[in-house]
Amino acid sequence: MATTADIVTGSSTARGEPRWFFGGLVQVRASAADTGGRYTLLDVRMPPHLAAPLHVHHTEDEGFLVLEGSMTVQVGDRTVALGPGQHAFGPRGVPHRFDIGPDGAHMLWMLTPGGFEALVEEASVPATAPTLPPPDLAPPADVAHIVRRHGNELLG
């Protein structure tokens, strides 16, 4: 469980600044600072056909709620297609990945405990407009190291 010392405070990301993160537009709607470290809530928009690499969260559980559009989520050896109003759960320690459908997706991600916004801040850039990022915008060159430092791991 996160302690007060673990809580990220005062960052522009934690205050909901739009960020371009792994090909999508992300805004922190609730940070660890807002929730006593219990969870982080992200508002996420992804373009059509974006594919997240296989990765694992070692320190947090992750929930995906699709608001608009669609996605296919693979968690461990299970794959599920999600549309508006549907949810998938990715427990910590279980590798997962997703593919966004042909119309893109608008989702809420909830991660417990809180603090994931620190990874979002370090592995993204401020959005110059509240739109999807340019398709040629790449994550930082040392993104695998950044992800590991925040208790996660890129597997593929």
pLDDT bin (cut points 50, 70, 90) of residue 12 is low
Quick check: 31 pLDDT over 70? yes
Summary mean pLDDT of the chain: 91
Nearest to 54 by CA among 98, 10, 101: 98
Classify 143 as helix, strand or coil: helix
Nearest to 84 by CA among 62, 63, 107: 107
pLDDT bin (cut points 50, 70, 90) of residue 4 is very low
Nearest to 67 by CA among 27, 129, 114, 109: 109
Spans of all domains in the chain: 4-130+142-154
pLDDT bin (cut points 50, 70, 90) of residue 5 is very low
Rg (CA), the chain: 14
Q: Which of 11-20, 50-59, 97-106 has the lowest mean pLDDT?
A: 11-20
- Residue pair 24/132 in contact (Cβ under 8 Å)? The answer is yes
Strands (E), the chain: 19-21, 24-30, 40-46, 55-57, 61-75, 78-82, 87-90, 96-112, 125-126, 152-154
Classified by CATH at the fold level, domain 4-130+142-154 comes out as Jelly Rolls (2.60.120)
The confidence score (pLDDT) of residue 138 equals 85
47-91 pLDDT per residue, tens: 999 999 999 999 999 999 999 999 999 999 999 999 999 999 999
Quick check: 3 pLDDT over 80? no
